[in-house]
Amino acid sequence: DGGITQSPKYLFRKEGQNVTLSCEQNLNHDAMYWYRQDPGQGLRLIYYSQIVNDFQKGDIAEGYSVSREKKESFPLTVTSAQKNPTAFYLCASSIVNEAFFGQGTRLTVV
Amino acid sequence: AQKVTQAQTEISVVEKEDVTLDCVYETRDTTYYLFWYKQPPSGELVFLIRRNSFDEQNEISGRYSWNFQKSTSSFNFTITASQVVDSAVYFCALRAVGGGSNYKLTFGKGTLLTVNP
């Protein structure tokens, strides 16, 4: 089935450690996105990528990094520089008139 | 720059009431798409509808209807005869095409709808 897969669903990290969240899509979409959602809050854009080997910072990119080496994959690394990383992370992929989301990864820093 | 405003943070209604969720957007691009998504407590975003900037025809799907008005930059969503299962967070989103927008997909802050039995 076509879709977007985020893994893992739940992730625990010790303070000071980097962690990478996976996002894979088989929809052949050019654009991919990472959003952060805090409890009771909306979706804030972290990074987005329009094509392979290209990406742009969103509204809250500090403390995060991404890569786009393949069309299907857009991993997000939450670095130790991110001051408050505990949140729900959503990945999306899109063509011009469609945008679909993965099921999200809930990251907790312990 | 583009922006989506959902002024209603929370709405609470009693089952069978009609409810309208407001969405106002800003963009300099002439070509853009507007979306509505539903986020139930499980967290995933469920796609509800998209409209492009050249199609102002309103749409009805069952109990759901959407009113797109370019003159007021609004894309409002109405649920008729609300049900408890409609309880969720609803997001409005904008994706402009061309210019400097680079396919950026921008969301409003969402409206939490609670439908009480």
Q: For residue range B34-62, list pLDDT tens digits in order.
A: 999 999 988 889 999 999 898 888 888 89
Residues B87-97 pLDDT 10s: 999 999 998 87
Going by pLDDT thresholds of 50, 70 and 90, the confidence category of residue B100 is low
Q: Do A42 and B50 touch (CB under 8 A)?
A: no
List beta partners, residue B78. Answer: B20, B65
Q: Do B109 and A42 touch (CB under 8 A)?
A: yes
Q: Do A101 and B45 touch (CB under 8 A)?
A: yes
Apex CA A7: angle with CA A84 and CA A39, to 5°?
35
Cα A88 from Cα A70, distance rounded (Å): 24
Q: How many CB pairs (< 8 A) connect A and B?
A: 61
Cα A30 from Cα B67, distance rounded (Å): 29
Residue A87: closest C-alpha in chain B: B43
Looking at residue A29, its pLDDT comes to 92
Residues of A with CB under 8 A from a CB of B: 30-31, 33, 35, 40-43, 45, 48, 50, 56, 58, 88, 90, 92, 94, 96-104, 106
Looking at residue A40, its pLDDT comes to 74
Exposed, middle or buried, A69 (CB in 10 Å: 0-12/13-18/19+)? exposed
Residue A40: closest C-alpha in chain B: B112
